[in-house]
């Protein structure tokens, strides 16, 4: 991490809502082309963090650096223009539109001022194939007919289609069964293999250890641990998530702030 | 374009039933995620897929066409005057105004909204146009029509602005419009010096000929030939383009079948219209309003299915939040939809007035709104938003016109006709609600 400029870096980011300190001087990095997991218990500040990164809320203090340069994210559009796409749990798909139409929603390709369905379908098909999304029979089927995992895949493919450099996924596996979770985790790995950074918000440690290269743990609005996922074990992360510190980690010599 | 969920299996339950073998579960998912018409390679496949689609809640046009044929048989058995050429052409003409009103309402329905004011907004435009082209203003007919239609569009944009910017429910804004625009319509009658006893008589030949003028029989066939040729060429061309790019396309047999079906239906219409339906002098030929209607339907279908604007209507109808996050200017698009709704209502009422040869202050725009909603929903559009095609009001309008026309032939009272129409509307809405609920469950 030290030799490369991280894709995204938060330096002392705080967010205050009235008397509530939601984030307290949070620092962490999201390395380029890797999967970063943002772990934490309920109320740890995971949602506030991603809403800050995606431009929904401006931080009260601190700095956000994108590829080493300080940036200000006033509106979601600012984040989008940098290449940050956030996939919330509701996925923001239109059930009545088919997969191609959803993937290009708001970014339709035109030919003679009319929708160029052929070009869009070919591009969508290629993106899905690159992501190895193979369980979908036809990309002309309405999104309503898809399973939860497939819907998640379409949302991810939509982000890739719009050439996102960082895809933020909010609890992508929360509502999924075992096979569907498997499918989404594979998708996340493939996404990072293609060079897209992924920031996964999760409190499912199985998922976190399965996909994450880099780990950030929040506790009551503070960043309490971060580092390569290989330096953590499950029990240590649980300690950080529940108490904000870990005697086991101190004993093992893991890097903590 | 709506949900085609296979009710035999529930996607999200599949993996849990057999968590040990995820591949098996995913294979099962493939079956669940069947999208019929885009997958079929052969005619047999297509028929099976089509049947599945009907059971899945997207019934398509055929059940309505079947119902229409059933109604025709019933009325013909009851009264032999029904299938007389003169009556059929009369039925088509009656249907055009209802179809156009249904198309107006379709814009609101796709957005998951409703417009209760279409009947009187259209009437304001029509009354204004007729007043301007009549004495003493004597405007050229086209200028009067343009001003009338633009007025309608402006009214729609105004109502749309109230709905989107002030966030007042469309139900409330257009309910106020139902009353308010009736007042404006009456004011036009009161102001116009050409209105005699609350009736503006159409003096312009172009406007009366819209409904009562006919193409020559030869012109009817030529126009039909050209229209079918364009339809066949574009359909074949599009299929060929998809195939050449390696994309799935409906089997050739289906494409040919579609073209033949459209050809037969069109030829039947032209043939009936070309029969002599006069009693004293020969009256024959396709009324002008039919090709005009076809052009409007094709244009609206094009707008809805091939342009960005149309795509955004559907997106907003299903999920305004998803549309907003995709960067769509939701308020502006919704306002445009309400403007298009009112504009089409203006066209409907000009056709309506043309059929009657005059426009009366006693016109009842309230029941026209019901016809508008009924035409769209009976034809297959959904009251729950995000779904509906330009063909739906055409089918629904024909059903309503057949009902009213047939019942009138049987000398049924107005009371009976109203009740029958209301029952048809309720039945269509009930079917809509049941199917949507099942496919969403």
A201 shares a domain with A150: no
* pLDDT tens per residue across span A88-102: 888 889 999 999 999
| Residue A141 reports pLDDT greater than 70 | yes
Q: Are A93 and B30 a contacting pair at CB < 8 A? A: no
The parent domain of residue A46 ranges over 1-83+165-257
Within-domain flag for A184: yes
A72 shares a domain with A178: yes
Residue B105 contacts by C-beta under 8 Å, 6 or more apart in sequence? Answer: B114, B115, B118, B341, B369, B372, B373, B375, B376, B393
* pLDDT tens per residue across span A26-35: 999 999 989 9
The confidence score (pLDDT) of residue B32 equals 36
Measured between beta carbons, the chain B residues lying within 8 angstroms of A132 are: none
Q: Which of B6, B22, B319 sits opposite A94 (nearest CB)?
A: B319
Task: Assess A97–B contact: CB distance below 8 Å, yes or no.
Answer: yes
The confidence score (pLDDT) of residue A201 equals 92
The parent domain of residue B170 ranges over 80-213+287-440
A121-125, B4-8, B196-200: least confidently modelled range: B4-8
The confidence score (pLDDT) of residue B434 equals 80
Measured between beta carbons, the chain A residues lying within 8 angstroms of B242 are: 118
Q: What is the 3-state secondary structure (H, E, C) of chain A?
A: CCCCCCCEEEEEEEEEECCEEEEEEEEEEECCCCEEEEEECCCCCHHHHHHHHCCCCCCCEEEEEECCEEECCCCHHHHHHHCEEEECCCCCCCCCCEHHHHHCCCCCCEECCEECHHHHHHHHHHHHHHCCCCCCCCCCCEHHHCCHHHHHHHHHHHHHHCCCCEEEEECCCCCCCHHHHHHHHHHHHHHHHCCCEEEEEECCHHHHHHHCCEEEEEECCEEEEEEEHHHCCHHHHHHHHHHCCCHHHHHHCCCCC
* pLDDT tens per residue across span A105-138: 989 999 999 999 999 999 999 999 888 888 888 8
Q: Which of A76, A101, A179 sits opposite B311 (nearest CB)?
A: A101
Within-domain flag for B187: yes
Within-domain flag for B388: yes
| Residue B405 reports pLDDT greater than 60 | yes
The pLDDT of B175-183, averaged and rounded, is 96
The confidence score (pLDDT) of residue B54 equals 64
B328: closest chain A residue by CA:
A106
Q: Are A137 and B22 a contacting pair at CB < 8 A? A: no
Q: What is the bridge-based pairing of β-strands A214-219 and A222-228?
A: antiparallel
B35: closest chain A residue by CA:
A141
The confidence score (pLDDT) of residue B226 equals 96
Q: Which of A131, A163, A195 is the last residue of a domain?
A: A163
Residue B222 contacts by C-beta under 8 Å, 6 or more apart in sequence? Answer: none
Within-domain flag for A91: no
Within-domain flag for B377: yes
A155 shares a domain with A179: no
Within-domain flag for A214: yes
A234 shares a domain with A122: no
Within-domain flag for B26: no
Task: Assess A112–B contact: CB distance below 8 Å, yes or no.
Answer: no
| Residue B65 reports pLDDT greater than 50 | yes
The confidence score (pLDDT) of residue A169 equals 93
Within-domain flag for A253: yes
The CATH number that applies at residue A194 is 3.40.50.300
Task: Assess B15–A contact: CB distance below 8 Å, yes or no.
Answer: yes
The pLDDT of B61-67, averaged and rounded, is 82
> What mean pLDDT is reported for chain B?
86
A159 shares a domain with A208: no
φ, ψ of residue B276 to 5 degrees: the values are -75, 115
* ipTM for the predicted complex: 0.85
The confidence score (pLDDT) of residue A243 equals 85
A238 shares a domain with A170: yes
Within-domain flag for A159: yes
Model confidence band, residue B19 (pLDDT cutoffs 50, 70, 90): very low
Measured between beta carbons, the chain B residues lying within 8 angstroms of A141 are: 4, 33-35, 38
Measured between beta carbons, the chain A residues lying within 8 angstroms of B318 are: 94-97
| Residue A257 reports pLDDT greater than 80 | no
Q: Are B12 and A93 a contacting pair at CB < 8 A? A: no
In whole angstroms, give the CA distance from residue B420 to residue B418: 5
* pLDDT tens per residue across span B272-309: 999 998 888 888 999 999 999 999 999 999 999 999 99
Q: Are A135 and B29 a contacting pair at CB < 8 A? A: yes
Q: Are B248 and A105 a contacting pair at CB < 8 A? A: no
Q: If contacts are CB pairs under 8 Å, which of residues 73-92 in chain B contact chain A?
A: none
The pLDDT of B261-282, averaged and rounded, is 91
- Cross-strand bridge partners of residue A38: A201, A216
The percent of residues above 90 in pLDDT, for chain A, comes to 39
A171 shares a domain with A74: yes
Within-domain flag for B227: no
Measured between beta carbons, the chain A residues lying within 8 angstroms of B326 are: 92, 105-107
Q: Which of A132, A163, A194 is the last residue of a domain?
A: A163
The confidence score (pLDDT) of residue A249 equals 64
A257 shares a domain with A172: yes
Within-domain flag for B1: no
Within-domain flag for B161: yes
Q: Are B19 and A142 a contacting pair at CB < 8 A? A: no
The percent of residues above 70 in pLDDT, for chain B, comes to 87
The confidence score (pLDDT) of residue B15 equals 37
* pLDDT tens per residue across span A46-58: 889 999 998 888 8
Residue by residue, DSSP assigns B15-30 as HHHSTT-HHHHHHHHH
A239 shares a domain with A169: yes
Q: What is the bridge-based pairing of β-strands A69-71 and A61-66?
A: antiparallel
The pLDDT of B307-316, averaged and rounded, is 96
Instruction: Tell me the count of A-B CB pairs closer than 8 A.
Output: 156
A69 shares a domain with A170: yes
Residue A226 contacts by C-beta under 8 Å, 6 or more apart in sequence? Answer: A28, A29, A214, A215, A216, A217, A257
**Residues shown for chain B:** 441
| Residue B154 reports pLDDT greater than 90 | yes
In whole angstroms, give the CA distance from residue B296 to residue B287: 15
Q: Which of A163, A190, A208 is the last residue of a domain?
A: A163
Task: Assess B3–A contact: CB distance below 8 Å, yes or no.
Answer: yes
The CATH number that applies at residue B387 is 1.10.3470
In whole angstroms, give the CA distance from residue A176 to residue B339: 42
In whole angstroms, give the CA distance from residue B344 to residue B325: 30
Q: If contacts are CB pairs under 8 Å, which of residues 234-263 in chain B contact chain A?
A: 241-242, 245-248
B440: closest chain A residue by CA:
A144
Number of domain units in chain B: 1
A210 shares a domain with A112: no
Measured between beta carbons, the chain A residues lying within 8 angstroms of B23 are: 179
Give A86 to chain B, closest Cα distance, Å: 10
Q: Are A177 and B6 a contacting pair at CB < 8 A? A: no
The confidence score (pLDDT) of residue A7 equals 93
3-state secondary structure (DSSP) of residue B360? strand
Q: Which helix (H) or strand (E) holds B232?
A: helix B217-244
The confidence score (pLDDT) of residue B58 equals 58
Within-domain flag for B40: no
A186 shares a domain with A60: yes
Number of domain units in chain A: 2
Within-domain flag for A128: yes
Q: Render the burial of B320-350: b for 16+ CB within 10 Å, e for the rest.
A: bebbbbbebebbebbbbbbbbbbbbbbbbbb
Most confident of A62-66, B61-65, B103-107: B103-107
Residue B6 contacts by C-beta under 8 Å, 6 or more apart in sequence? Answer: A145, B31, B32, B34, B52, B56
| Residue B27 reports pLDDT greater than 80 | no
The pLDDT of B166-172, averaged and rounded, is 95
């Amino acid at each position: 991490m030290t030799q490369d400029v991280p894709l995204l870096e938060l330096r002392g980011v705080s967010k205050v809502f009235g008397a509530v300190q939601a984030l307290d001087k949070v620092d962490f990095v999201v390395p380029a082309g890797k999967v970063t997991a943002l772990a934490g218990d309920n109320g740890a500040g995971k949602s506030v963090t991603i809403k800050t990164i995606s431009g929904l809320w401006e931080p009260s203090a601190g700095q956000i650096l994108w590829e080493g340069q300080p940036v200000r994210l006033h509106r979601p559009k600012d984040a989008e223009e940098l290449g940050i796409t956030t996939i919330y749990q509701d996925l923001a798909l239109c059930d009545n539109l088919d997969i191609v139409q959803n993937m290009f929603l708001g970014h339709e390709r035109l030919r003679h001022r009319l929708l160029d369905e052929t070009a869009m379908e070919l591009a969508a098909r290629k993106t899905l194939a690159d992501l190895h999304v193979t369980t979908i029979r036809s990309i002309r089927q309405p999104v309503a007919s898809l399973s939860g995992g497939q819907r998640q895949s379409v949302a991810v493919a939509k982000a890739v289609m719009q050439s996102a450099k960082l895809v933020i996924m909010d609890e992508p596996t929360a509502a999924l069964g075992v096979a569907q979770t498997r499918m989404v985790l594979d998708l996340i790995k493939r996404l990072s293999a293609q060079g897209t950074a992924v920031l996964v918000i999760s409190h499912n440690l199985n998922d976190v250890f399965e996909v994450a290269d880099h780990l950030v743990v929040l506790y009551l609005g503070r960043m309490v641990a971060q580092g390569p996922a290989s330096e953590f074990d499950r029990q240590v992360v649980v300690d950080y998530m529940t108490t904000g510190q870990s005697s086991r980690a101190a004993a093992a010599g893991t890097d903590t702030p | 374009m709506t949900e085609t969920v296979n009710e035999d299996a529930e996607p999200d339950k599949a993996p849990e039933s057999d968590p040990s073998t995820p591949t098996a579960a995913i294979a099962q998912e493939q079956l669940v995620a069947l999208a019929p018409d885009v997958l079929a390679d052969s005619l047999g496949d297509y028929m099976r897929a089509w049947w599945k689609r009907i059971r899945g809640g997207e019934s398509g046009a055929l059940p309505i066409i079947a119902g229409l044929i059933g109604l025709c048989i019933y009325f013909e058995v009851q009264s032999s005057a029904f299938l007389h050429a003169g009556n059929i052409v009369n039925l088509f003409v009656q249907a055009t105004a209802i179809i156009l009103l249904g198309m107006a309402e379709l814009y609101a329905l796709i957005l998951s909204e409703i417009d209760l004011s279409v009947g009187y907004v259209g009437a304001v435009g029509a009354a204004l146009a007729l007043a301007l082209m009549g004495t003493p203003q004597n405007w050229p007919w086209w200028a009067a029509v343009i001003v009338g239609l633009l007025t309608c569009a402006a009214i729609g944009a105004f109502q749309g602005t109230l709905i989107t910017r002030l966030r007042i429910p469309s139900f409330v804004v257009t309910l106020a419009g139902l009353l308010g625009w009736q007042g404006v319509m009456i004011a036009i009658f009161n102001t116009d010096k050409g209105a005699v006893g609350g009736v503006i008589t159409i003096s312009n030949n172009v406007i009366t000929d819209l409904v009562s003028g006919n193409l020559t029989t030869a012109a009817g066939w030529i126009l039909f030939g050209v229209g079918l040729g364009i339809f066949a060429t574009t359909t074949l061309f599009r299929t060929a383009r998809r195939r050449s790019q390696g994309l799935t396309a409906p089997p050739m047999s289906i494409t040919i079948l579609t073209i033949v079906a459209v050809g037969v239906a069109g030829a039947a219409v032209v043939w009936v219209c070309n029969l002599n339906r006069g009693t004293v002098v020969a009256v024959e030929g396709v009324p002008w309003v039919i090709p005009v209607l076809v052009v409007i339907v094709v244009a609206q279908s094009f707008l809805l299915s091939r342009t960005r604007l149309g795509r955004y209507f559907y997106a907003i109808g299903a999920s305004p939040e998803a549309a907003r996050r995709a960067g769509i200017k939701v308020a502006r698009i919704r306002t445009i939809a309400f403007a298009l709704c009112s504009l089409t209502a203006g066209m409907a009422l000009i056709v309506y007035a043309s059929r009657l040869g005059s426009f009366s202050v006693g016109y009842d725009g309230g029941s026209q709104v019901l016809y508008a909603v009924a035409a769209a929903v009976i034809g297959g559009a959904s009251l729950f938003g995000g779904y509906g095609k330009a063909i739906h009001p055409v089918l629904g309008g024909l059903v309503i016109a057949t009902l009213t026309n047939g019942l009138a032939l049987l000398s049924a009272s107005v009371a009976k006709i109203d009740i029958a129409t209301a029952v048809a509307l309720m039945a269509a809405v009930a079917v809509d609600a049941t199917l949507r609920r099942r496919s969403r469950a």
